[in-house]
Amino acid sequence: MSTAFSLKEAKTNTLKPLHVNPLKLSQPMGATLAFLGIKNCMPLMHGAQGCASFTKVLFTRHFNDPIAIQTTAVNDISAVIDGGERGISEAIENITKKTTPDLVGLFTTGMTETKGDDIKGATLLLKEKQKIVYVHTPDFEGGLESGWSLSVQNIITQLVVPASKVKQEKALLVPNVNMSPIEVEKLKEAMEELGFDVFALPDLSDSLDGHLGVKQGSLSGGGILVRDIEALGDCGLVVTIGRSVRKCGELFLEKNAQTKHVHFDTLTGLEASDRFYAEILAYLGIQSVPNRVKRWRARLQDVLLDTHFVLGKSKVIIADEPDSAYAIAKALLEVGTSVKAFIAQRSEIQEEFTCEVCIGDFEEVEKSLPLSDMLISNFHGERLAHRYHKALLIRGFPNYEQVGVGLRNTILYEGSCTFLCEVNNLLVHHQASQ
Amino acid sequence: MVNTKLIKDLLNESACSHNKTKKSSCDKPKPGATSGGCAFEGAQISLFPYADAVHLVHGPDTCLGASWETRATLTSYQGENNTPLGYCTNVTTQDIIFGGDKKLASALAYIVEHKKPKAIFVYETCVTAMIGDNIDYTCKVASEQFGLPIVAVHAPGFVGSKNLGSRLAGEAVLDALIGTKEPETIHPYGINLIGDYNVTGDMWQYRPILERIGIHVVSTLSGDGRIEAIQQAHTAKLNVIVCAKSLVTLCRKMQERYGIPYVSVSFYGKRDTSNAIRSIVNAFGDADLSARAERIIAEEEAKLEERLAPYRLLLKGKKAILNTGGNKSWSIASALQDIGIEVVATSIQKATEEDIAIAKEYVPIVFKSPATEQPRLIDEHKVDILLAGGRSLYTAIKKRIAFVDVNQEKKVSYGAYGGLENLALDVCAALRNPVFKLVGTQAPWEAA
């Protein structure tokens, strides 16, 4: 544990002709998760059957829960002669034979975007049969975060009924794709404590939180109701968390110009948590918070001081989706940790990092690893951490190694405390075992 | 490019019995009612275990980004193990407009320079098939330039199911690799192991036993496989298909081309393992070899019985229901019977005609719709344990019986003699565990 990373190579982009051990996940996968946060929804991926199958397997193993998803199963013939509508209508017919979804989330893949299918047209033709939201999510552009965000944008545009009046205390939360189900729930509770009537879109807090349910897997088991989405127009406040979803808040204002939009890039760490309460209290025009919140802030102050001895002398590499990497980096920088971040896709948030950051794959991560103490990444980092004898904290998608990934909280005062303590303890434990 | 004639031929494989009845698992997938992987995944599963080759996926990120490092296919290769690594050309909008061949060529150059593999497999995907990249040409030029086999695998996802993809991968290996190298000596009892990917080390459970008998494994497709070995596969005397019907075409073609006969075996359970060894040995028609095999089978079975004895006491009189797919619908049933469990019923929802026929030989009741029949069968037969995929967990909880997830990625091998002990251990652990009854209890506020 010695000097900080050099900032010399900062913000360099790798121009390799390939990805070796990719960090990136695709747009359709982000879209899948977004639609799983709506109750009784069937995500329908428009592509070859493998796209949906890979996605289903990844999220099933990540969450340890059944994942609802279907595919239009484009084949070599329909890839050439069908403009999309035939496969899509056949899929809707087969889905509605067995289930009655409140919504079908229809989104594209690389192949169906390459052939240029008209999913808007197909949706209009099926309007009487099934409520559908359509989204363009080619996997040769963007990544997990943008796929999620584009889906939320289209859900807002296509479903929310415009309004001109607002209910001051009705709030909409738009989390980014990296937020765990329990983080969405904690955030809802924090808002409810202050008197809000809160909706989250999407709401994974009761669909992929790992509860034992009776009917498993045919449609999404929980989430925000479609009729609640349609009636969101009178929200007084819309809160977006993570740069990838900021645009969702801006779009919402087109539904109701009276709504106030408040955006946070992160909710992890003292500064971020303070900013959250400052903005929300200002909106409500009040000064006081519940005692519970005050106590947790004081605990976080103490944790910051307790952990700074170890974390202030450590070097950590983060490899994750941009919004998550930013949140983790910012929290660790608060206690003086030296941080270098690798992000999965290009993002506006890249400009906000105050440490070294680049777009990369695990081959690039591996080159930096010998000079660090700890790796924070998805489970693909495990092999590297073992080889170079580094401490490892598994975050992000996918995590096949651990259970309870949906129950991890790293936001606001309380979550920041557990996060910092976990990193600190892992580092100390790792050093002791060397 | 995609060879449509080949695909048609593969789907009408004469060695597949179901093609006589026309109700086949090779049909086109139905939109909105399909589960399971695509042809690309099938090809990947079949070839990724070659750890000394780099596997480059030519397409956008989804195909590889979500699928690398997911299967525990073990290898003894001493160099850098490429199986759990992910290589992808990451095709973007730019490449789709201007073509991805140049990017592919640079990626191949990068791999040769940095990784020095024994061969490179290049997997075509939906997008690169549609934009018409000339992958064959790029691979051919690069192969000549760099002096190593670079094999194009034409199994883009949209051509069909996982099974078809495995077949296409087999064809690629047959055309580009098999028969391209001659060995120094030809073993009289040389075999190829086809279709075992050494998941959790399954192959290692029985390969040493075969070798003790005097059988020599020339090559494998592809568990713990090597490129150099598969290049010499044409010099084997027998092809052994292990629990996989998808590669039967490859074996039929090798029979036509090189005169190598094939047998199909399963290494799940004691009886099937012993029978598998006998099928392989008897194919050589050598009395000494067969006698040695019988002696070693007897030894192994006796050792296994000794190890299984404590489990048999615990498992005596226990009844099970099995709900899984394909050949597992009978192979695991057979293994369960070998550890003394009565298998009351097995699901044939996702089994082929052949599998159903075999399943009926092992298990008295076969059922088609688990959702309705499973709970009824559990009650009627007082079943103790349900072995199924995660979706059936709730059924077990509701019925307050033990549950073993047999569809999830396994952590330990259930193969051959040694694996049977692992299966016995897992079943015993589940039966002993109080959690299934505890979880099913009512909440205090629900109590009547």
- B67/A54 Cβ within 8 A: yes
The pLDDT of residue B270 is 93
What is the rounded distance in angstroms from the CA atom of residue A315 to the CA atom of residue A1? 7
- So what's the ipTM on this one? 0.92
For B394, the closest of A16, A20, A214 (CB atoms) is A214
Q: Chain B closest CA to A17's CA: distance in Å?
A: 5
CA B255 vs CA A378, B193, B239, B346: distances in Å: 46, 15, 9, 35
What's residue B122's pLDDT? 98
Nearest residue on chain A to B105, alpha-carbon basis: A17
DSSP character at residue A38: B
> Chain B: nearest CA to A280, how far in angstroms?
36
Q: B157 to chain A: which residues are within 8 Å by CB?
A: 47-51, 111
Domains of chain A: 27-142 (3.40.50.1980), 167-292 (3.40.50.1980), 293-432 (3.40.50.1980)
| Any A CB within 8 A of B96 CB | yes
pLDDT of residue A15: 72
Counted across chains A and B, CB pairs separated by less than 8 A come out at 208
Cβ of A110 and B84 within 8 Å? Answer: no
Q: In Å, how far is B353's CA from the nearest CA of chain A? A: 23
Instruction: Verify whether the Cβ–Cβ distance A26 to B60 is below 8 Å.
Output: yes
B210: which 2 tokens? 């075969």
Q: How far is A151 from chain B (nearest CA, A)?
A: 17
Nearest chain B alpha carbon to A92? B32
Q: Given its phi and psi angles, is residue A40 left (phi above 0), alpha (psi -120 to 50 degrees) or beta?
A: left
Q: How far apart are CA B347 and CA B329, in angstroms?
A: 6
The model's pLDDT over B331-341, given as tens digits with 9 standing for 90+, comes to 889 999 999 99
Sign of the alpha-carbon dihedral angle for B367, B373, B378, B384:
positive
Architecture of domain B1-265: 3-Layer(aba) Sandwich (3.40)
Q: Residues A13-41, buried b or exposed e (16+ Cβ, 10 A)?
A: eeebbbbbbbbbbbbbbbbbbbbbbbbbb
Helix, coil or strand: residue A255 = coil
Q: pLDDT grade, residue A170 (50/70/90)?
A: very high
Is residue A107 very low, low, confident or very high in pLDDT (cuts 50, 70, 90)? very high
> Residue B13: pLDDT above 80?
no
In angstroms and rounded to an integer, the radius of gyration of the C-alpha atoms of chain B is 23
- Compute CA A43 distance to the chain's CA centroid, rounded to the nearest angstrom: 17
Q: Which residue of A has its CA nearest to B4?
A: A76
Residue among B401, A70, B357, B163 nearest B388 (CA): B401
Q: Categorize the per-residue pLDDT at B19 as very low, low, confident or very high, splitting at 50, 70 and 90.
A: low
Residue-wise pLDDT for B196-250, tens only, equals 999 999 999 999 999 999 999 999 999 999 999 999 999 999 999 997 778 999 9
- Contact criterion met (CB < 8 Å) for A18 and B67: no
Window 60-99 of A, Cβ < 8 Å to B: 60-61, 64, 66, 70-77, 79, 87-88, 90-95, 97-98
Residues 331-390 of B with CB under 8 A from A: 390
Q: Is B65 on the interface with A (CB under 8 A)?
A: yes
- Domain ranges within chain B, ordered by starting residue: 1-265, 311-439
Say whether B311-439 and B1-265 share the same fold: yes
Scanning A95-124 for CB atoms below 8 A from B yields 95, 97-98, 109-111, 114-115
Does the beta-carbon distance from A140 to B127 stay under 8 Å? yes
Minimal Cβ distance to B61: which of A24, A61, A91: A24
Mean pLDDT value of segment A169-174: 98
Q: Does the pLDDT value for residue B351 go beyond 90?
A: no
Helices B416-432, B202-213: axis angle to 10 degrees equals: 140
Point out the least confidently predicted range of A255-264, A275-284, B257-266, B393-402: B393-402
For position A81, what pLDDT does the model report?
78
Nearest residue of A to residue B389 by CA position?
A66
For residue A7, name the pLDDT band (cuts at 50, 70, 90).
Answer: very low
Q: Pseudo-torsion of CA A413, A416, A417, A421, nearest 10°?
A: -170
User: Per CATH, which fold does B311-439 belong to?
Assistant: Rossmann fold (3.40.50)
Does residue B222 have a cis bond before it (omega within 30 degrees)?
yes
Q: Does B30 touch chain A (CB under 8 A)?
A: yes
Residue A434 — very low, low, confident or very high, per pLDDT cuts 50/70/90? confident
The whole-angstrom distance between A390's CA and the closest CA on chain B is: 19
Query: Which chain B residues contact residue A48 at CB under 8 A?
Result: 38, 40, 126, 156-158
Confidence of residue A10 (pLDDT cuts 50, 70, 90): very low
Residue of A nearest to B35 (CA): A53
Provide the pLDDT for residue B344. Answer: 95
Q: Which B-chain residues 36-55 have CB contacts (< 8 A) with chain A?
A: 36-41
Contacts of A61 in chain B (CB under 8 A): 70, 408-409
Chain B environment of A58 (Cβ under 8 Å): 66-67
